[in-house]
C-alpha cells in the first residue's frame, strides 16, 4: 500500500530565503506526483504536476523535482515571501489505484517578514 | 475555463440530523469526481469517487453516502450525523483517464454539535 510522508511537518523561515520541502513515497509505481498549497480554511490549489517520466517542473519561483526510483520529490521555493505562507501537500497517483491520489500530511510553512 | 463549486461553505448540524453537501463542476464533461474529508490537523481522506453518472466507489465504510445524479454534480449525504463526521469536506475533479491534475473546490466546514 502506497504511503506518503512529508518532512518537516512545519517550517519557519525569514523572508527572502530559498527553501526546500520534501515528499517521500513508498512505492515507485506511480503515474505522476502533484504539489498543492492550502491556505487556512480554503481548498487546495494545484501548483505543479510531474509525470513519472519527468525529472522536474518549474512555475515561476517554484521548482519541483522527482526521483521516482528513490521515492522522493522536492519542492524548491526561491526568494520566499510572506504570501508563500501556507500548508504544502504532495500527492502521488499510484498505478494500481485507479484514478485516485494518495496524499501526504503536508508541511506548514511560515515566512516571516 | 473550468470551475468547481461547493455549498454550503459552512454548516453546523446537531448529532442525528441529516446531511446534504453539493458539488458542481462547470466547463468540462464526464469528469472524475471525488469527495475528501480533512479532519483537524490530519491529512486528506478519500471518501468516495465517481467515474460516471450513477457510478460511486466508497473508500471508507461509514455512515456517509454519495450520489452522482448528473454528469457534473456530486452529492455527499448522511441520514444521521455523528460527532466524528465533523471536518472540512472537499470536492475535487479530474479529467477522465490520462495523466492530469486534480482540482479542488473551496470546501465545506461541517461542525456536528
pLDDT tens digits along A7-65? 999 999 999 999 999 999 999 999 999 999 999 999 999 999 999 999 999 999 999 99
Mutation for A interface: B102, B105, B109, B110, most A CBs within 10 A: B102
Give the pLDDT score at A99: 73
Average pLDDT over residues A68-83: 97
Identify the bridge partners of residue A109 per DSSP, sorted by sequence position: A11, A86
Buried/exposed code over B81-90 (b: 16+ C-beta within 10 A; e: otherwise): beeebbbbbb
B101 contacts A34? CB cut-off 8 A: yes
Q: Minimal Cα distance from A103: which residue of B? A: B44
Residue in A12, A87, A45 with CA at minimum distance from that of residue B41: A87
Give the least confident one: A67-71, A95-99, B78-82.
A95-99
Q: Is B54 left (phi over 0), alpha (psi -120 to 50) or beta?
A: left
pLDDT value of position B39: 83
Q: Once rounded to an integer, what is the mean pLDDT over residues B31-53?
A: 90
Residue B98 has pLDDT above 70, yes or no: no
Are B33 and B56 contacting, i.e. CB atoms less than 8 angstroms apart?
A: no
- pLDDT reading at A98 higher than 80: no
Beta strand pairing status for A107-112 and A10-14?
Answer: parallel
Give the single-character DSSP code of B99. Answer: S
Is it the case that residue A74 has pLDDT exceeding 80?
yes
Q: Is the peptide bond before A8 cis (omega within 30 degrees of 0)?
A: yes
Q: How many CA atoms lie within 13 A of B7 on its CB side?
A: 4
CA distance A88 to A107: 5
Coil, helix or strand at residue B7 = strand
pLDDT of residue B61: 65
Provide the pLDDT for residue B42: 72
Residue B1 is predicted with a pLDDT of 80
Chain B residue whose CA is closest to A35:
B101
Where b means 16+ CB within 10 Å and e means fewer, B9-25 reads eebebeeeeebebebbb
pLDDT at B8 exceeding the cut of 80: yes
Chain B, 22 to 51: residues with Cβ < 8 Å from chain A are 32, 34, 42-44, 46, 49, 51
Using alpha carbons, list the distances in angstroms from residue B11 to B14, B28, B79.
Answer: 10, 28, 15
Q: Indicate whether A94 pLDDT > 80.
A: yes
Q: Do B102 and A89 touch (CB under 8 A)?
A: no
* 3-state secondary structure at position B27: coil
The per-residue pLDDT of chain B, averaged, comes to: 92
Is B99 within 8 Å of chain A by CB?
A: yes
What pLDDT sits at residue A36? 97
| Residue B4 neighbours by CB distance under 10 Å | 23
Residue of chain B minimizing CA distance to A53:
B99
**Burial (0-12, 13-18, 19+ Cβ within 10 Å), B51:** middle
Amino acid at each position: 500500500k502506497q504511503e506518503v510522508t512529508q518532512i518537516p511537518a512545519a517550517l519557519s523561515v525569514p523572508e527572502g530565503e530559498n527553501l526546500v520541502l520534501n515528499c517521500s513515497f513508498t512505492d515507485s509505481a506511480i503515474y505522476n506526483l502533484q504539489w498543492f498549497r492550502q491556505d487556512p480554511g480554503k481548498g487546495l490549489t494545484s501548483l505543479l504536476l510531474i509525470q513519472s517520466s519527468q525529472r522536474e517542473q518549474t512555475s515561476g519561483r517554484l521548482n519541483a523535482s522527482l526521483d521516482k526510483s528513490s521515492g522522493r520529490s522536492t519542492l524548491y521555493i526561491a526568494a520566499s515571501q510572506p504570501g508563500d505562507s501556507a500548508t504544502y501537500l504532495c500527492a502521488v497517483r499510484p498505478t494500481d489505484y485507479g484514478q485516485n491520489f494518495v496524499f501526504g500530511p503536508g508541511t506548514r510553512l511560515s515566512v516571516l517578514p | 475555463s473550468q470551475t468547481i463549486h461547493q455549498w454550503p461553505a459552512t454548516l453546523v448540524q446537531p448529532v442525528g440530523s441529516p446531511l446534504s453537501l453539493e458539488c458542481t463542476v462547470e466547463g468540462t464533461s464526464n469528469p472524475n469526481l471525488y469527495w475528501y474529508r480533512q479532519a483537524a490537523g490530519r491529512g486528506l481522506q478519500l471518501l468516495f469517487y465517481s467515474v460516471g453518472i450513477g457510478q460511486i466507489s466508497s473508500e471508507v465504510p461509514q455512515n456517509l453516502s454519495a450520489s452522482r445524479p448528473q454528469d457534473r454534480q456530486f452529492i455527499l449525504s448522511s441520514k444521521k450525523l455523528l460527532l466524528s463526521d465533523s471536518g472540512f469536506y472537499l470536492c475535487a475533479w479530474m479529467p477522465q483517464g490520462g495523466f492530469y491534475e486534480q482540482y479542488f473546490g473551496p470546501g465545506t466546514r461541517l461542525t456536528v454539535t
